Amino acid sequence: MILVGAAASLAAGAMTGVGALPVLLGKTVSRRTNDTMLGFAAGVMISASFFSLILPGIDYGETIYGGTVAAALLAGFGIALGAGAVAWMNANIPHEHFITGPEGADPGALSKLWLFILAITIHNFPEGMAVGIGFGGGDVANGMSLATGIGLQNAPEGLAVALALRGQGFSKGKSVGIALMTGLVEPIGGLIGVAAVTVSSYVLPVGLTFAAGAMLYIISHEIIPETHRHGHQNRATTGLLIGLILMMLLDVIFA
């Protein structure tokens, strides 16, 4: 199951490169379309967080710890822990966003390119962990649902990254290559996630909700503010709802 989880997170992460491929053909998308696609990605992540991570986490918690209240409290702890972990990384790892600029610790001699890569890595790592944890619980259907959903939302994110890099003056090939490379951090997160919950089933409820909390923090802290920055909030919200509904349907289909 560890290898399956790692392979699924690798496939999901590779979708960032697939999504960036239009850049090689010289294709561009409008800011409005880009915000809509990022809204879609946010919707997929929200739906995955609840239907594929938090609710299963509570179910596992009830089975393992024998009580609904205990399971809900444990889920709340996991969500807070995941969000706190990403907040800590944001505050302590030097990185730079394309629009909002530098964040985190003093970057020292790190180039702007590496600061961009670190910013996207902070974003993608929890997604890979979510896929790995989904498989680590032994529920292949849940893992497949997560891998499919994360892969779907990685494609528009990969395109957004590549377009932003082109806007910074990078070549087409380098922009696509970097987008792919940032997605390939996901199997590392997937391997860690699946290994952690495979070692002990007692970790599973916290692991699932930890991944959800990390993704929810990213959605609220980065993706939604970015999609609303240029006045396209109506389209971004429509994209979010479409992504949420699609991911919900995937979760039901794979159940």
pLDDT at 132: 84
Helices (H), the chain: 2-20, 31-47, 55-65, 68-92, 112-136, 140-167, 172-183, 186-199, 204-218, 224-227, 233-254
Q: Which amino acid is at 227?
A: T
Neighbours of 203 (CB within 10 A): 18
Domain count of the fold of the chain: 1
Q: What domain range includes position 92?
A: 2-254
Angle between helices 204-218 and 31-47 (to 10 degrees): 160
Predicted pLDDT of residue 245: 95
Provide the Cα torsion 201, 206, 210, 216; round to 10°. 120
Q: State the sign of the Cα–Cα–Cα–Cα dihedral 74, 80, 81, 82.
A: positive
Amino acid at 143: G
Residues 6+ apart with CB under 8 A from 74: 57, 61, 65, 205, 206, 209
CA distance 14 to 145: 16
pLDDT of 99 reads 60
Question: pLDDT value at position 73?
Answer: 94
The per-residue pLDDT string of the chain (255 residues; one tens digit each, 9 = 90 and over) reads 667 777 888 888 889 889 889 888 877 788 899 899 889 999 999 999 999 899 999 998 998 888 899 999 999 999 999 999 999 988 888 877 666 667 776 776 667 677 777 777 887 888 888 888 888 767 777 788 888 888 888 888 888 888 888 877 888 888 888 888 888 888 888 888 888 777 777 888 898 999 999 999 999 988 898 889 888 999 999 999 999 999 999 888 876
